[in-house]
Amino acid sequence: MTIAVWSYLSEYEAEKAEIYNAIEKVLTSGRLILGESVQGFETEFAAYCGARYGVGVDNGTNAITLGLRAIGVAPDDEVITVANTAVPTVSAIVTAGATPRFVDIDPATFLMDTTQLEDAITERTSCILPVHLFGQCVDMDSVHEVAEKHGLKVLEDCAQSHGAEFKGRKAGSMSDAAAFSFYPTKILGAYGDGGMVLTDSEEVERKLRRLRFYGMEEVYYAEEHGYNSRLDELHAEILRRKLAHLDSYVARRRELARRYGEMLDDTPLILPQEAPNNLHAYYLYVVRHPRRDAIIARLKERDIVVNISYPWPVHTMRGYSGLGYKEGDLPHTEAAAREIFSLPMYPSLTDPEQETVCQALHEILGEA
């Protein structure tokens, strides 16, 4: 039997009754767009994260784009971020009319190296966009120290960090705005696309509500250029039910990570490090080895599927060659992309399945 790097099927079976109830509630409500389910989930998820306001949108990419626009990032501004992220982080910046400017990563945690922020700032820089990658938070104290010194906005990319904490504060509650994805693979995932922007600013919240609905405050009258970017009622109601399980999802992921650490500690794999002051939510369990590709091939022979997040840093992609970066500009980012891979990690992964993965790794790594 194949062991997948991610699967929702067992979780779905366990929560099927709640999901069906959520669907029935929406379909019999008489309101399918921007109704009580979206409003309820916005309020509940914002409260869970410790933010004042939540604005549901159609996906995590648009959460970043609309978030940037709402906090005042303008065309031709520069936004500092990292290149070891999913393409949507960067495509959202470009869609907002801004230019991404990259800093390298800390090779131990794969998170933004905040010591490089000062040198990356130019007269066009208006925002820092830290990516809370793989389930843990960037050092937000350092980010805000630089941002406040230079008058910059901060938007957190929290697509991979639902439930993660930095110094006791939840990801998404520490900046001018924060963008979340509810893509199915996420720690809190829908059965399709979905996203949200969190903020403590009433002005930013009002602008976000306009931007997601064609720039309108009243039907048929646009106050500004906007988008069609609305979280669907069905996804919102399902996410409300799943939000009640989020802490248990994170707890199980942390338990799986602990078990991986125990079972793989005596192998040559470089295992994940929990950054200082973090509660790691383990969206992914990312290990590192110079023979990564050979290991993956051998695991596949045993019907064990793993993943690489991400094999190509964004600054090396043809689609972003116009940004002017080249191989060698971000050495830690590029080195990690050649060696990292993600082991199976999701709450319904069973202990025996995890033990099978670890046994296979022991045997493969022990081969000459």
Return mean pLDDT, the chain: 97
Average pLDDT over residues 319-326: 96
Q: Are residues 215 and 287 in the same domain?
A: no
| Position 146 in a domain | yes
Full DSSP string of 180-245: EE--TTSSS--SS--EEEEES-HHHHHHHHHHTBTTEEETTEESS---B---BHHHHHHHHHHHTT
Coil, strand or helix at 316: helix
The domain boundary, picked from 219, 243, 267, lies at 243
Which residues in 126-159 are b (16+ Cβ under 10 Å) and which e? bbbbbbbbbbbbbbbeebbebbeeeebbbbbbbb
Give the type of residue at 317: M
Same domain membership, residue 289 and residue 277: yes
pLDDT bucket at 165, cuts 50 / 70 / 90: very high
* CB neighbours of residue 294 within 10 Å: 12
Q: What is the CATH number of the domain that holds 355?
A: 3.90.1150.10
47 domain-assigned: yes
In a domain, 4, yes or no: no
Is 294 domain-assigned? Answer: yes
pLDDT in tens, 227-282: 999 999 999 999 999 999 999 999 999 999 999 999 999 999 999 999 999 999 99
Pair (204, 281) in one structural domain: no
pLDDT tens for each residue of 61-111: 999 999 999 999 999 999 999 999 999 999 999 999 999 999 999 999 999
Q: Quote the CA–CA distance of 127 and 179 in Å, as a whole number.
A: 14
> In residues, how long is the chain?
368
Cα distance from N-terminal residue to C-terminal residue, the chain: 27
Q: Does the pTM of the predicted model rise above 0.85?
A: yes
Q: Are residues 232 and 256 in the same domain?
A: no
Report the C-alpha gap between 353 and 365 in whole angstroms: 18
Domain CATH code at residue 236: 3.40.640.10
Structurally, the chain folds into a number of domains equal to 2
Query: Quick one: 93 and 144 in the same domain?
Result: yes
pLDDT digits (tens, 9 = 90+) for 147-160: 999 999 999 999 99
Domain limits for position 351:
246-366
Mapping DSSP onto H, E and C, the string for 29-78 reads CCCCECCHHHHHHHHHHHHHHCCCEEEEECCHHHHHHHHHHHCCCCCCCE
Residues 63 and 171 in one domain: yes
Question: In angstroms, rounded to a whole number, what is the distance separating the alpha carbons of residues 71 and 168?
Answer: 25
* Cβ count within 10 A of residue 367: 7
239 and 198 share a domain? yes
Q: How far apart are CA 136 and CA 116, in angstroms?
A: 19
Statement to judge: residues 252 and 237 lie in one domain: no
Over residues 285-292, the mean pLDDT reads 98
Using an 8 Å Cβ cutoff, are 56 and 39 in contact?
Answer: no
If pLDDT is split at 50, 70 and 90, which confidence band does 1 have? confident
Asked whether residue 368 carries a pLDDT value surpassing 60, the answer given is no
Residue 327 pLDDT greater than 90, yes or no: yes
State residue 115 phi and psi, 5-degree precision: -70, -15
Q: What percent of the chain has pLDDT over 70?
A: 100
> Tokens representing 70?
């709402």
Taking each helix axis from N to C terminus, what angle separates 36-49 and 9-27, rounded to the nearest 10 degrees?
Answer: 130
Q: What is the pLDDT of residues 188-234, one digit of tens each?
A: 999 999 999 999 999 999 999 999 999 999 889 999 999 999 999 99
Give residue 219's pLDDT. Answer: 87
- Same domain flag for 98 and 173: yes
